[in-house]
Amino acid sequence: MLKANTDIVRLNGAEKHFGAVRALNGVDFHVGAGECVGLVGHNGAGKSTLMHMVAGTLRPDGGQIAVRGNAEASYSVARALELGIRCVFQELSLCPNLSIAENTRINHPALKGFGWRRKAADLIRAKLDEIFPDHGISEDDIAGDLSIGRRQMVEVARAFTLTSEPLHLVILDEPTSSLDAHTAGQLLAFVRRFVAAGGSCILISHVLGEVLQNADRIVVMRDGKVVAADAADVFDRDRLVAAMGGAEGHQKAAAEARKTEPGALRVRARPARQQDGKELVARAGEIIGLAGLAGHGQTDLLLAIFSAAARAKAGIEVTAPVALVAGDRQSDGIFAQWSIAQNIGIRSLTRLRNGLLISPQREADLAEFWKNKIGIRTPDMNNNIFSLSGGNQQKALFARALGSDAEIVLMDDPMRGVDIGTKLEVYDLVREEAAKGRTFLWYTTETEELDNCDHVYVFKNGRIVADLGRDELTEEKIIQSSFGDAG
Amino acid sequence: MLRGLLPALSLALVLIAIAWLNPRAISYFGFNLMLNLAIPIALATIAQMFVIAGNELDLSIGTFVGFVGCVTATWLRDAPLIGIVVLLGSIAVYALLGALIHLRNLPSIVVTLGMSFVWQGLAILVLPKPGGKAPDWLLSILSFKPPYIPFPILAALIIAAIVHFGLMRTSYGVILRGSGGNAAALRRAGWSLLRTKIVLFALTGLFGVLSGMALIGITTSADANIGNGYTLLSIAGVILGGGEFVGGRVSPIGAVLGALTLALAASPLLTFMHIPPDWQVAANGAILIIVLAARVLISRRER
């Protein structure tokens, strides 16, 4: 075991309640110096709560926290920063109205006085160059104008910038959820370098491969408790999933080849910047993948298809009602003030109507049906949508799309930051719905998800550069075409 | 890019229209006359901009300007010490309002709407009938005639430059704007949101006081209702200048340009267009709607 004085942080018997919900139920957790700890578990297992405690944004209701062997009685964000503990939160925490340099300033009280702007700009540029050599972000860019992936890159880089405060431990909560494979690799390589140089890191990720490959030690949480903790090489994928209480049985279903007989044409679309004759074709009952590096026109095409369903658009043909599952769920998906049931029902208002009004009964029925079908974990569907964990919010958005009359479902990388159990459940559901004749257009940054697709289009610079059938689909091929010079 | 230029463009458009209708108005004397009330409007707009930067709205700025005007035309002349204390005290009241709004999580619209009646009532108590007289030093400041550049334009440049530096270039200005952009992120980085709100409201109070004093320096005497139109004028000026109601996106230079546009569009332009005074208020509103609609269209296209 590690000695106490090499601990960066140690929590003993940490507890936290939110009303009747016990988010943390006596958790012991520690991180040593020069160690990368992987933290895995389903959404709602208590990972985020635990990390908020380490970062000082939440106070434990019970238990102690000690930093470098000293018990901290009044631990806070300011104290954590002073002790060199920082956190990159899952919800993006940049100020969208400020430039990248100004956002860097927010985390560094020391950046002030004459010439602070230049210092802040140099600081963040150097760090971005170091972690993501080909980032293409200018320090004068306004954060809100950047794509979600680039915002995440900035946020990660910002956490590693150094001024007067020390830096010992960085908590990375789903740092790669909006990054494509290439940038995610750059980030993880940097994390390894950081740890090798003596820094410590907590890596939370739902991509189990990332955790297995990069963590020295893995801690598994379930229902507010630590259920397993051991050196990373003791675990493999199956053991991790088992420890998380996961859905092992589903695993390989995806790989089963599905018989697809071409159905009626549902979507025929050509990206606005496409110059050759390539176009995306989707038929009834098909799951179509949109792959490639993040932000290369996949979302734009989905949105173009979505608007073409309402109003005719050149180059795009859509023959059935469309629903969209948003990727940036906080800004594009959720009605923050509404209940879960209302959030699900909004796409189906015509069906829920009784005369001029919405029938509360039908709305409740619809919500209840999907609660059971998709497994939304809540005591009451009339609770506010924010009472759900991130993964369950995403399930509600799926229920909104699947509960509607839409025959075409557009998915804009909807699984980012969603735990593996939820993912597998949703994959099954998508295949089941496709078998019933629905069409799915699925943009994803996770190559594994493409295994669910019948057909994959790879995007680069707003154009389709490759068109892969199910049998030709390999990760290599996708990476090759997303980096290749074709198109 | 185009969007950032829109405030300047709309001002240029109004100026071109005036030049076309009445070329003689584009002169040293003409600007002094047309922009007569631009300085207090610009100051009130800047005041409003500070609360808007923190995602709040001040519906009391108009009556506050009126109250300050009444104090300036009476106590500040007759008993300067009391006058100064009262004005500083009123800035402190603004700071307290900011604290109250933050701590009790109250909607600023409600609080400041209530305060607008308080300021109005106090103004009537201080000066029941129109009258009073501005202090002589204030009169001489505002009747300053610099060479070549008309004073209102010079003053607008100075105001814009100072506030731009303070809010957009200093390191604490970043924190103030960040509090409107993503308050949670700021709290996580260890900043006090109570403090940012207090500072923003105190700055609103400060610029409200400057606006009221400037107004009296120009009109020479006060009336309890003198500033009532400033509430909506200041909000319109901020929005016209490229600001947004939420998200901490504001621009001091834009706000001053917006205030100048409004001041010019208000009466000089409409008078030159031979629009009867009865219709001027409505025409002013129409101009506002056209400019704001253009802004929405442009920003949508740029997305």
Does any CB of chain B come closer than 8 Å to the CB of residue A110? no
Three-state DSSP class for residue B76: helix
Q: Ramachandran region of residue A86, left (φ > 0), alpha (ψ -120 to 50) or beta?
A: beta
Share of chain B above pLDDT 90, in %: 66
For A357, the 3-state DSSP assignment is strand
User: How would residue A247 be classed by pLDDT, with cut points 50, 70 and 90?
Assistant: very low
Q: Looking at residue B258, what is its pLDDT?
A: 92
Nearest to A112 among B171, B182, B190 (CB): B171
Please tell me the predicted confidence (pLDDT) of residue B124. Answer: 96
pLDDT band for position B44 (cuts 50, 70, 90): very high
Q: Give percent above pLDDT 90 in chain A.
A: 29
- Which pLDDT score is estimated for A319? 87
> What percentage of chain B reaches a pLDDT higher than 70?
99
Percent of chain A with pLDDT over 70: 92
Total number of domains constituting chain B: 1
Most confident of A32-46, A260-274, B223-237: B223-237
Does A334 share its domain with A257?
yes
Residues near A39 by beta carbon (within 8 Å), at least 6 away in sequence:
A47, A50, A51, A202, A203, A204, A211, A218, A219, A221
Q: Which domain holds residue B57?
A: 2-302
The pLDDT value given to residue A262 = 66
- Residue A326 has what pLDDT? 85
Record the tokens describing residue B139, joined without a space. Answer: 């009169």
Distance CA A207, CA A415 (A): 11
How close, in Å, is residue B91 to chain A by CA atoms? Answer: 27
d(CA A112, CA A102) in angstroms, rounded, equals: 11
B189, A106: Cβ pair inside 8 Å? Answer: yes
Q: B181 falls in which pLDDT band (50, 70, 90)?
A: very high
Q: How confident is the model at residue A248 (pLDDT cuts 50, 70, 90)?
A: very low
Task: Indicate if the alpha-carbon torsion angle A422, A423, A427, A430 is positive or negative.
Answer: positive
A77 contacts B190? CB cut-off 8 A: yes
Check B181 against A105: CB less than 8 A apart: no
Check CB contact of B177 with chain A, cutoff 8 Å.
yes
Q: With an 8 Å Cβ cutoff, is B54 touching chain A?
A: no
pLDDT-derived band at A254 (thresholds 50, 70, 90) equals very low
CB contact under 8 A, A106 and B248: no
Q: Does B184 contact A93 at a Cβ distance shorter than 8 Å?
A: yes
Q: pLDDT of A87-100, one tens digit each?
A: 987 667 899 999 99
- A174 & A272 share domain: no
Together in a domain, A283 and A210: no
Q: What is the pLDDT of residue A2?
A: 43
Please check whether residue B49 touches A, CB under 8 A.
Answer: no
Q: How far apart are CA B217 and CA B73, in angstroms?
A: 9
> Per-residue confidence at A473, pLDDT binned at 50, 70, 90?
confident
Question: What pLDDT, in 10s, does the model give residues A386-426?
Answer: 888 778 888 899 899 988 888 999 998 888 777 777 888 88
Give contacts of B 68-107 with A, CB under 8 A.
Answer: none
pLDDT for A259 equals: 53
- The answer to whether A96 faces chain B, any CB pair under 8 Å, is yes
Q: How far is A155 from chain B (nearest CA, A)?
A: 11
Residue of B188, B195, B249 to mutate for A, most A C-beta atoms under 10 A: B188
Q: Which residues from B are below 8 Å from A102, CB to CB? A: 174, 177-178
What are the pLDDT digits (tens) for A288-344? 999 887 778 888 899 999 988 888 888 888 888 899 998 777 778 888 889 999 999
Domain span holding position A231: 4-249
Whether B188 sits inside 8 A of A96 (CB atoms) is no
User: Is residue B303 within 8 angstroms of chain A, CB to CB?
Assistant: no
Q: Which of A388, A350, A357 is nearest to A370 (CA)?
A: A388
Higher-confidence residue of A188 and A260: namely A188
- Smallest CA–CA distance, residue B167 to chain A, in Å, is 12
Residue-wise pLDDT for B104-122, tens only, equals 999 999 999 999 999 999 9
Closest-CA residue in chain B for A96? B181
Q: Are residues A241 and A138 in the same domain?
A: yes
pLDDT at residue A328, as a whole number: 78
User: Which comes out higher in pLDDT, residue A482 or A73?
Assistant: A73
Please check the confidence at residue B252 and state whether its pLDDT lies above 90.
yes
Residue B212 confidence class, pLDDT cut points 50, 70, 90:
very high
A54 in reach of chain B (CB within 8 A): no
CB proximity B247 to A under 8 Å: yes
| Residue located via tokens 């740092």 | A175
B190 in contact with chain A, both atoms CB, cutoff 8 A: yes
CA A125 distance to own-chain centroid: 25
Q: How far apart are CA B167 and CA A331, in angstroms?
A: 27
Number of inter-chain CB pairs under 8 A, A vs B: 65
pLDDT at A44: 67
At A253 the pLDDT is 43
- pLDDT category of residue A249 using cuts at 50, 70 and 90: very low
- Work out whether the CA dihedral B97, B98, B102, B105 comes out positive or negative: positive
pLDDT score of A21: 64
User: Within chain B, how many helices (H) and strands (E) appear?
Assistant: 16, 0
- Residue where a domain terminates, one of A228, A249, A270: A249
Condensed to tens digits (0 to 9), the pLDDT of residues A338-375 reads 999 999 989 888 888 888 888 888 889 999 998 888 88
Query: Using CB atoms, which residue from B169, B190, B248 is nearest to A97?
Result: B248
What's the CATH code of the domain at B273?
1.10.3470
Q: Which residues pair with A222 in a beta bridge?
A: A225
pLDDT tens column, B256-278: 999 999 888 877 788 888 888 88
Whether residues A240 and A277 fall in one domain: no
Q: Is A358 on the interface with B (CB under 8 A)?
A: no
Angle, helices A420-435/A390-402, rounded to nearest 10 degrees: 10
How far apart are alpha carbons A202 and A427 in whole angstroms?
28
DSSP A387: G
pLDDT at A483: 64
Whether A277 and A233 map to the same domain: the answer is: no
- Is the pLDDT at A258 greater than 60, yes or no? no
pTM for the structure as a whole: 0.76
pLDDT of residue A487: 36
Which pLDDT band, with edges at 50, 70 and 90, does B210 fall under?
Answer: very high
Cβ of residue B195 closer than 8 Å to a chain A Cβ? no
Same domain, A237 and A312: no
| A477 pLDDT above the threshold of 80 | no
Answer yes or no: is pLDDT of A5 > 60: no
For residue A185, is pLDDT > 80?
yes
- In tens, the pLDDT along A108-165 reads 988 988 899 999 999 999 999 999 998 999 999 999 888 888 999 999 999 999 988 8
More confident residue, A223 or B212: B212
Average pLDDT, chain A: 85
The residue ranking higher by pLDDT, A214 or B188, is A214
- Chain B touched by A307 (CB under 8 Å): no
| Sign of the alpha-carbon torsion through B146, B147, B150, B154 | negative
**Residues B219-244: what's their mean pLDDT?**
91
Domains contained in chain A, number: 2
Instruction: Give the whole-angstrom CA distance, residue A221 versus residue A49.
Output: 11
Q: Are residues A59 and A119 in the same domain?
A: yes
Under an 8 A CB cutoff, do B185 and A109 touch?
no
**How many angstroms away from the CA of B170 is the closest CA of chain A?**
8
Mean pLDDT throughout B55-71? 96
- The CATH code of the domain that includes A272 is 3.40.50.300
- Min Cα–Cα distance to chain B from A132, Å: 23
